[in-house]
Structures are given as C-alpha cells and as structure tokens.
Amino acid sequence: MAGGNSNYWEDLRKQARQLETELDLKLVSFSKLCTSYGASHDDHRGRGSDTTPLLSSSSQDRMLDTLGVEIEQLLAKLTSVNDRMAEYTNTPSVTSLNAAVMHTLQRHRDILQDYTHEFQKTKGNFLAVREREDLLGSLKKEIETYKSGTGVNNRRTELFLKENEHLRNSDRLIDDTISIAMATKENMTSQRGMLKSIQSRVNSLANRFPAVNSLIQRINLRKRRDSFVLGGVIGICTILLLLYAFH
C-alpha cells in the first residue's frame, strides 16, 4: 500500500487540518447568517412593513443554502480523510507507532463529530425559523387578502369583533361577580363558625349567670336581623352586576 510510509500519514493529517480550518470558518459564518436571518425577520415584523432587511429573504435563503451545501461537502471530504487515516493505522508497518497514531486519529474523529453536530444543530434551528417565517408570511397574506375585501365585509367583521369583545367582557364581569360572591360566602361561613364558638362560650356563661342570659337573647335577635339585611344587600348587588353585564 502506498500509504505505508510516514509521508502518506503526514499528508493525510495535513489534509485533515486544512479541512477542519475551512469547516471552522464556514460554520462560524453559517451560524452568524442563521442568527441574523431570524433577528432581521423579527425586527422587520416589530417595526412594521415600511422597513426592509438589509438582505431580502430570498437572498438570505440562497446564501444559507449555498453555504450549507459547502459545509456538507467539506464534512464528506473530512470523513473520507479520516477513513483513510483509519485504514493506515491498520497496516503492519505502523504497529510500533500504533498508540500515537490512534491518539491522533481519535482527535480528528472527535473534531469531525463536533463539527457535524454543530452544523446539524445550527441547520435545524435555521430550518425551524424559516418554516415559522413561511407560516407567518402565508398567514399575513391571507389576512391582507381578507382585509382587501369589500367595505361591507369589513364593516361586518368589525361588528362581529366588537360583539365578541363585548361578550368576553361580560363573561369576565360575571366571573368576577361569582368570585366576589364565593369569597363573601366563605367569609361569612368563617365568621359564622367563629360566632358559633363565641356563642357556645357565652351560653355556657349565661347558664351560670341568669342576668347575662337576657342580654344574650337580645344580641342574638339583633344579629339575625343584621344577617337578613346583609344578605338582602348582597343579593341586590349581585343582580345589578348581572344586569349590567348583559346590557
């Protein structure tokens, strides 16, 4: 085999290092382009349609596609070089240097694996961003097409939207009213439990002191009257809120 000498091994190492350098530079450029692609589209949507990116979407797509193909070709070449280096390590003439040679081969394999992983991750992110942009662009076109309809349709749509917003506000108001009622109920239940506990203790004392019993009866009578009035007020407020919500 022609690769049975050290010059062949050094040539392979030289090719591997050269390909790794090219890959490193192109991966950096590819990553920057992918980042600027997403940022430029987000900024364009944020500032409105009166501004345009420095590069059009089609130009960025072509640049990224071209650069992606170049990176894939370099990865394929580096894989081929690593395979030839692996074949070289299996030749009998390098048995005495096998440990050092295998260490070098493993290092180049690790570099190839890292570059492959980085490229696939960056490319995956870019494809996800482009798919999202295509979806948003299609949706924007549909909205613009819909808005370009007749004035009657636009007016009808506006009325539908207002009515929908009114219904949503009514739902929120009803939910708030129910929440207030539930909170009031819980509060009254808590107070009722506390009053029962106090009443139990007072009754115990009243049984011991007859003079106090008469006073407790008058307090209970007034408490029942106040509870009735409070319940009526809460019911009236709830009815008024519900009437307001549906008007």
The 3-state secondary structure of the chain, one letter per residue: CCCCCHHHHHHHHHHHHHHHHHHHHHHHHHHHHHHHHHHHHHHHHHHCCCCCCCCCHHHHHHHHHHHHHHHHHHHHHHHHHHHHHHHHHCCHHHCCCHHHHHHHHHHHHHHHHHHHHHHHHHHHHHHHHHHHHHHHHHHHHHHHHHHCCCHHHHHHHHHHHHHHHHHHHHHHHHHHHHHHHHHHHHHHHHHHHHHHHHHHHHHHHHHHCHHHHHHHHHHHHHHHHHHHHHHHHHHHHHHHHHHHHCC
**pLDDT for the residue 49:** 44
Residues of the chain with pLDDT below 70 are 1-6, 38-57, 93-97, 137-155, 202-203, 205-216, 225-233, 237, 240-247
**pLDDT for the residue 145:** 64
**pLDDT for the residue 42:** 54
pTM above threshold 0.85: no
**Does the domain spanning 6-148 belong to CATH 2.60.40?**
no
**pLDDT for the residue 97:** 59
